Amino acid sequence: MSQSHKMKIKKSIWMEYAVLVLVTLVSGVTRYLLWDDLGLKGEFPPETVGFSFIFLVLSWEFFKGMERYMNRILPYSKGLALRITVQLVIGAMYMLLVNRLLFMVAGKYLEGSLTVIFSMTTYATFATLSFLINSIFFGKYFFNEWRKSLVRAERLEREKTQVQFDNLKNQLNPHFLFNSLSSLHSLIMDQPVLASEYVTNLSKVYRYVLLNESKATVPLREELEFIGHFIFLLETRFGKGIDISIAVSEASTQLEIVPVTLQILLENCVKHNVIDPDNPLRIRIGSEGNSLSVVNSLHPKELVLDSNSRGLENLKKLYSFMSEKPVRIEFSDREFSVVIPLIPSLT
């Protein structure tokens, strides 16, 4: 058992007994104030406060022990209604037995018909107390199950989103490779030196993707180094038709980002816009506090091939699990921007 778990158990026990002490004091003060009004004999005996505390402690520990024992022999998963019924019956029998014993002790303070009234009232009170104590354990069980269901649902949604994101990357890579090889083919004969540099940058792009495909996040400085190689490929391919600038603060580079986020965003810009040397597609990558923005000028294509319109949506879902800040998508008549929350480093 870990040290933190032990501390949680100790804290829980202290809180339980603090509540028992508070209940004992409240009940003691109430009995003291109502002692004469109930017509009970003699002066209020202060030792009954101690007896009440002992009774509450023994009862609480009995119900806790019963809960643990029932979890072993009749867990909730084997029959919820049966488990609740059996536990309520056992609890009620225990409380009625204890009530009878306490009534015998308290009898010396009662006289005449008050005994019957006191008996009926306390039987009902103790039966209700049994139900309330058991309700605490039932409520804890239902709360834990509800919390587990939320965790399961979140995990399944995250896994689903991650799969969709991975599928998107896998769709990008063959498409990107095809375009890269086409560009390389035209360079080999006309510009062999540039072709060699193109191959070097292309290999670095794929090396980065392969090294980080299983990582949840990478430092932004590594992503920026990677995207520099990717930008070289785009600028070689499109020439003056594309203009990409980067302005990121040093502090932002210490934060992290989901691998190949920038590649996907740049590919999205290229896919949805017309590339024209006379009116180049301008893309700005910049930092905004703890966020990273990718802004492009708008030159929308009339028809976009091979687009399922889910890329940015999957990116938004994935980042919703990684950061409390959402991915923001904004656009105007002239620009389209995506703002990605940067993730604090866990190391």
Residue 8 lies in a domain: yes
Answer whether 337's CB lies under 8 Å from 293's CB.
yes
Q: Do 108 and 196 sit in the same domain of this protein? A: no
Residue 335's pLDDT is what? 94
Residue 20's pLDDT is what? 67
Alpha helical stretches, state H, 107-249? 114-190, 192-212, 220-238
Burial 185-198 (b: 16+ CB within 10 A, else e): eebeeeeeeebeeb
Task: Give the rounded distance of the alpha carbon of 83 from its chain centre.
Answer: 31
Residue 181 lies in a domain: no
pLDDT category, 61, cuts 50, 70, 90? confident
Q: Do 11 and 80 sit in the same domain of this protein? A: yes
For residue 193, give both structure tokens.
């030196």
Mean pLDDT, the chain, whole residue set: 79
DSSP string, 5-67: HHHHHHHHHHHHHHHHHHHHHHHHHHHHHHTTTTT-SSS--THHHHHHHHHHHHHHHHHHHHH
Backbone angles phi, psi at 259, to 5 degrees: -55, 145
Q: Per-residue pLDDT for 235 more than 70? A: yes
Residue 222 lies in a domain: yes
Which residues lie across from 296 on neighbouring strands? Answer: 283, 336
Q: What is the mean pLDDT of residues 230-247?
A: 92
Q: Per-residue pLDDT for 113 more than 50? A: no
Q: Do 127 and 257 sit in the same domain of this protein? A: no
For residue 60, give both structure tokens.
């609480």
Residue 164 lies in a domain: no
For residue 154, give both structure tokens.
């979140």
Q: What is the mean pLDDT of residues 166-170?
A: 56
Q: What is the mean pLDDT of residues 128-139?
A: 85
Number of domains in the chain: 2
Q: Do 128 and 236 sit in the same domain of this protein? A: no
Amino acid type, 26: V
Q: Quick check: helix, strand or coil at residue 313?
A: helix
Q: Do 197 and 143 sit in the same domain of this protein? A: no
- Give the residue from 101, 93, 96 showing the smallest Cα distance to 66: 93
Residue 4's pLDDT is what? 61
- Give the residue from 175, 145, 4 showing the smallest Cα distance to 83: 145
Q: Do 114 and 212 sit in the same domain of this protein? A: no
- Give the residue from 304, 238, 236 showing the smallest Cα distance to 273: 304
Residue 16's pLDDT is what? 67
Backbone angles phi, psi at 310, to 5 degrees: -110, -5
Residue 176's pLDDT is what? 65
Longest pairwise C-alpha distance within the chain: 117
Residue 177 lies in a domain: no
Q: Do 201 and 142 sit in the same domain of this protein? A: no
Q: Do 120 and 253 sit in the same domain of this protein? A: no
Range of the domain at 231: 191-341
Backbone angles phi, psi at 340, to 5 degrees: -105, 130
Q: What is the CATH number of the domain that holds 255?
A: 3.30.565.10
Amino acid type, 325: K
Residue 294's pLDDT is what? 96
Q: Do 205 and 334 sit in the same domain of this protein? A: yes
**Residue 62: C-alpha distances to residues 66, 90, 104, 263 (Å):** 6, 11, 21, 62
Q: Per-residue pLDDT for 216 more than 70? A: yes
**Cα–Cα distance between 216 and 278 in angstroms, integer?**
40
Q: Per-residue pLDDT for 227 more than 90? A: yes
- Give the residue from 318, 269, 325 showing the smallest Cα distance to 292: 325
Q: Do 124 and 206 sit in the same domain of this protein? A: no
**Residue 201: C-alpha distances to residues 4, 101, 197, 220, 227 (Å):** 48, 86, 6, 19, 10
Q: Do 276 and 335 sit in the same domain of this protein? A: yes
Residue 230 lies in a domain: yes
User: Which of 152, 171, 199 is at the close of a domain?
Assistant: 152
Packing angle, helices 311-322 and 261-272, rounded to 10:
160
Residue 50 lies in a domain: yes
For residue 107, give both structure tokens.
């009898």
Question: If residue 290 lies in a helix (H) or strand (E), which one and from where to where?
Answer: none
pLDDT category, 112, cuts 50, 70, 90? very low
Task: Give the rounded distance of the alpha carbon of 257 from its chain centre.
Answer: 18
Q: Do 8 and 134 sit in the same domain of this protein? A: yes
pLDDT category, 308, cuts 50, 70, 90? very low
User: Which of 152, 181, 201 is at the close of a domain?
Assistant: 152
User: Which of 123, 152, 181 is at the close of a domain?
Assistant: 152
pLDDT category, 114, cuts 50, 70, 90? very low
Residue 175 lies in a domain: no
